[in-house]
Each structure stands twice: as C-alpha cells, then as structure tokens.
Amino acid sequence: MSMDGKTVLITGATSGIGKETAKGIASLGATVVFTTRDKERGEKIRQTLIHETRNPNIEVLFCDLASFESIRKCSEEFLQKHDTLQVLMNNAGVVDYHRRISKDGIENMFAVNYLAPFLLTNLLLETLKKSAPARIVNLTSGLHSGTIHFEDLQFNTGFSGMKVYAHSKLAIILWTRLLAEKLKGTGVTVNCLNPGMSRTNLGRDAGWFSAKMFQLLGKAPSVAAHTLIYLASAPEIETITGEYFEKNTVKKTKPETYDMVAARKLWDISANLVK
C-alpha cells in the first residue's frame, strides 16, 4: 500500500518502536515528521532513515513532551511548514520508577504519557479535520488497569512506577473513546493499540533485572511497530474509530475503559491542566 502524498507526525521516533514505525511509514512514501528531545540525535536519525528508506521527505522537530510550552511551540512549527496532516501518531512514552515532576509541576508519567498527546492532538485537531480522511493513533499498553485516580491524579501519595504507568495508559484508552465520539462525522478517526512488550529502553531505569527482562522477553521493535504502521495505513480500517487494537485486531478491554462518565470528567480536568 502507498502513503504517497500523506503527511504523518510521530512523537518519539529516535529509538525503539517509534523509530521502526517512522521507517516503515517513510518506506510507504509518506512525508514523515518526528519529534525528538535531542536535536543532534534527531538529525542523525533523520539522515539514517533517509538513507534506509530512500525517502528524502523526513523531518525532525524538537519537542520536550514534559513541557506544555514546548508542545505548543512544536505544533506551531509544524503548522508553519505543513497545512495538512493525515496521520498523528502519539507514540512517545516513559516509565519512571521514582516519582518525578514535569516542567509544569505535574507527575511526569501522567504529563508525558497522557497530557502531552491530549494537548498536541487538540492543537492539531483543526488541521486533521481539514485533511480528512485523517487518523489519530495512540499508543497504550496491555498493562492498563484500575480506575482513574480522581482523588489524587498525580499520585502525591502511594506512588508505584508500574501502577502509575498503568494509570496513564488507562487514561489514554478513555480519552481515545471519548475523542472518537467527539469526532463523529468529521472524517477523523482515533484508535489506540497495545504493541506488547518489546525490546525498548523503557526499562532502563528499572534496575538491572527488570531491564534484562525487557531485553530477553520483549519482541523486536520492528515487530512491535507492525500494528502502528497498520493503523496508520491500512485502507480497510479507514472508518473504524474508538477501538483498541492488538496485532492488527480489535480487542475488548477491561470494563473500566468503557466508563464514559469517567472519560468526560477526565477530559474536563485535563483541559484545565493544559490550559
């Protein structure tokens, strides 16, 4: 399948699943724009991807997803260069095993894994609508669990790295379902996916044992990227929206991921947090 003439924006494509996704989509002929926190590294990856895919239409944008100001500047820079956007891929994420705070004073995993894509997507939504048919693809995890921790969204007490990570990924699923409702009739679809455990650097701060498990048990990032590339490009899912995918297939998720009352409450709080 070809993606000639389409523009795709991917967050966090300097390593792992994001890099392999950027490579796969660039190989299909799309103009690929990806974000990085390290300009020098980002430029090296850009040159590598151009060489590997023989597609010169690959660009890199600086964006610190732990900063709302940086996200706004990134979206502005993108819109200065591009007046269409057919696919937005919210791929970037972090796992913190000790509580950290973003530049805006928010617990870092909630900020980067959930609020960053929430803000970036809303900033680019009008361009996506004008570019319809268009798609939004959100990376979540099979580890999503529990309910939204409304009494303490930022886990000022009871912080546990994996619990808070799972909480941020549950938020992604709820947001995906509500956004799909809000976008009905616009020609813009939004879906989320679980890529499965892969050999990425997400476990680098987990201690040697957990990091080793990521490497031993995880699938290759090129394999994990298959579903992202599928959701970005497959013509047969152009009208499917509000769903959760694993291995290119729609899957049911836990009951709490269908709680639209919680989804609406979370949306309102999120809109206030990102101002």
Q: How far apart, in whole angstroms, are the C-alpha atoms of residue 172 and residue 116?
A: 11
How would you write 26-91 as a 3-class SS string?
HHCCCEEEEEECCHHHHHHHHHHHHHHHCCCCEEEEECCCCCHHHHHHHHHHHHHHCCCCCEEEEC
Q: Which two tokens stand for residue 241?
A: 């929206």
Which of 165, 230, 244, 258 is catalytic? The answer is 165
Residue 148 has a CB neighbour count (10 Å cut-off) of 17
At residue 22, the 3 state secondary structure works out as: helix
What is the maximal distance between C-alpha atoms in the chain?
51
Q: How far apart, in whole angstroms, are the C-alpha atoms of residue 197 and residue 182?
A: 31
**Residue 97 catalytic?**
no
Element (DSSP H or E) covering residue 189: strand 188-193
Residues with catalytic roles: 165
